[in-house]
Amino acid sequence: MPVSPIIFKNHFENTVSPFGWNGVNVSAGCAVAVDAKRPHHGAYNLLSTLGANLGANLSAVVYRGSLANAYRHLNVRVMNAIVDVLPEDNADDFNLMAFSAATGGIGYGGISNSGGTSYWFIIRRSGGLYSDVLSTLSPIANKTYCLELEILQSTAGNSDGFVKFYVDGNLAVSALNLDNDDLTLDYVTVGFSASVAPDLSAANFRCDCAEISKMYIGCEKFRMNLLSRGKKTRSDLVSTVRAGTRMGLH
């Protein structure tokens, strides 16, 4: 039988910390919990809160570890991703998803404020240096999305790695030809992993149905049954970018 590419799934139905993840890392003034306000599947979703006016590099995250030396190509997807407040200050970042080592990040995806406008963005590591790459697309506060972050670490001595960030199944921003194999991919992080400037108000990030895979997952597909005037039911495969809707299709 073929080996499943799926490494880990979590619908946050386990309400006991750390919610089925390996751990929770919470900075002062921040919080990570599960609640029932806007689940995509079941009754619960992840709620990560970044406190207001708390300065730089504060975090509220959950992570999945024990990946060391095992993978160089990973994809993480979350459904029903919602940010209620966008970054307020220039150069402020909400790193919603990340791949990292114990000693530092390798690739991030999220939202960045540039010149007063928020954009989807990634942080890439190449040659030991970090840089931001902004999308031309802007997120909307309180709108639900399907978010995916994909990483390929380079082979030794080459610049053939990449970081890609997808929104509702569409590539929003990417960085290619990276030399990013200098750190071991140990953790997949979901939640606010950093905000680099204080905001005027607290910000909440909700998401559900986290999935980590050894290959690109893609936006959900579902099978919809149709009944046509007394004729027997037929099934049509329909692709969807319905992130965040509660249609009971899991």
pTM, whole model, 2 decimals? Answer: 0.87
Helices (H) and strands (E) in the chain, counts: 0, 17
Tokens describing residue 156: 């030794």
Tokens describing residue 198: 């204080």
Report the SS3 class of residue 96. strand
The residues with which 121 forms a beta bridge, in sequence order, are 110, 134
Report the SS3 class of residue 190. strand
Contact 25, 194 (CB under 8 A): no
Whole-number Å distance between alpha carbons of 148 and 165: 6
Domains of the chain: 6-219 (2.60.120.200)
Q: Which residues does the chain have with pLDDT short of 70? A: 1-4, 53-57, 68-69, 198-200, 221-250
- The reported pLDDT for the residue numbered 72 is 92
Task: Name every residue whose Cβ is closer than 8 Å to that of residue 1 and which is 6 or more positions away in sequence.
Answer: none
